[in-house]
Amino acid sequence: MFGLMPYERRERGMMDLFNDLDKYFFGDKSMPSMPALSCRTDIEDRGDSYLLSAELPGFSKEDIRLDLDGDVLTISAAHSGESEKKEKDGSYVCRERHYGSYSRSFDVSAIRQEEIRATYKNGVLELTLPKKEAAPAPAARAIEIE
């Protein structure tokens, strides 16, 4: 199960949230105009498999890509660049929706990779990740000291 933990997970403290709020409210030019896209992911142990559910609201099925490279599964999604054209003509009064890309990787070395299945419905990507059969634990024995 620990192999499914995402790479580069960072814990954010309460003070970081207040600092970000202060910067966004008063306008810090060094900060991007909107926070980076984030993807909330749940991983449920279902006995013989894991169910990975990732929220990707606003993406179409065609915007999402799943890549398997060795023992690394990467989920990536990108919105189209149509917003850049609208941004240049200056017609926005307020712009809060974010367009961009997102990518997240998971270690799947304990998964039967050829049997991974994916569905996408209502902004949620679900991956069924069948577990590999666990190798039997070696029998307990005493070791003689020479």
CATH assignment of the domain containing 97: 2.60.40.790
Reply yes or no on whether the pLDDT at 122 is more than 50: yes
Is 53 a domain residue?
yes
Rounded average pLDDT over 20-31: 53
Edge-first strand order for the sheet with 49-55 is: 41-45, 49-55, 124-130, 117-121
Is 136 a domain residue?
no
Position with higher pLDDT, 8 vs 124? 124
Is 146 a domain residue?
no
Is 126 a domain residue?
yes
pLDDT for the residue 117: 96
Is 138 a domain residue?
no
Determine the structural domain holding residue 52 and report its residue range: 2-9+37-130
Place of tokens 């209502």: 122
Is 80 a domain residue?
yes
Q: What is the pTM (predicted TM-score) of this model?
A: 0.61
pLDDT for the residue 81: 54
Separation CA 75–CA 39 (nearest Å):
10
Is 21 a domain residue?
no
Separation CA 131–CA 113 (nearest Å):
9
Residue 65 pLDDT level (bands cut at 50, 70, 90): very high
Exposure letters 86-122 (e unless 16+ CB within 10 A, then b): eeeeeeeeeeeeebeebebebbbeebeeeebeeebee
The SS3 call for residue 26 is helix
In the chain, the number of structural domains is: 1
Rounded average pLDDT over 131-138: 82
Is 101 a domain residue?
yes
pLDDT for the residue 5: 54
- Find the Cα–Cα–Cα–Cα dihedral 11, 101, 41, 132, rounded to 10°: -110
Position with higher pLDDT, 130 vs 94? 130
